[in-house]
Structure 1
Amino acid sequence: MTNCWPFAKLGDHIDLLAGYAFKSRDFTEEADDIKLLRGANIGQGCLKWDRERRWPRSRAAEHCKFELAANDIVLAMDRPWIEAGLKWSVVREPDLPMLLVQRVARLRATGPLSQHYLRYMIGSPQFEAYVRPIVTGVNVPHISPTQIRDFSFGLPPRGIQDSISGLLRPMDDLIENNRRRIEILEEMARLLYREWFVHFRFPDHEDVELVDSDLGLIPNGWGQTCLGEEIDLQRLNIRPFEYPDEEFDHYSIPAFDDRRFPSVESGAEIRSGKYLLLGESVMVSKLNPRFPRVWRVDRSALVRRAVASTEFLVLVEPARWTLAYVHGLVTSTDFATRLATTAGGTSTSHQRVKPTDVMNMVVVQPPEEVMQLFTRQVEPMLRLADNLIQQIEVLRDVRDLLLPRLVTGELDVSELVLKLEALGV
Structure 2
Amino acid sequence: MSVRTSVIRALRACQVPRTPGSVASSAFFEGQAGQSWLRVSAGQRAISSRAQSPAINGKSGKPGRFGKPGQSGKPGKSGKSGKSAEGERSARDLERFNRGVLPENENPVKVFNANLRDGTLTKAIAASCLKTAVRRENYDGGLGEATIKWIWKEHDSYEFPKDVELLDYMIRLLVQEGKEDLLWSWIEQKSRKRGNLGPKDRFAWRADAVKSLVTSKAFASEDSLDEALQVFLRAKSSTYSIPLAPARTETAKLLMMPASKKAFENDQGPQVEQLRWPNTDLKLWESFFKAIDAREDVSEPFRVQLPLYRPDGPDPQPYLKYSRHLAGHPSLVQKMLKRQSLVPWIARGRHAEAVLRQSGQAEDANWLGAFTKELDSKSEVIRKKRDERRTAQRNGASKKFKEELGDSPL
Greater strand content: 1
Q: Which has the higher contact order (CA 8 A, sep 6+)?
A: 1
Kindly name which structure, 1 or 2, has the bigger radius of gyration based on alpha carbons.
2
Greater helix content: 2
Taking structure 1 as the reference length, what is the TM-score of the superposition?
0.20
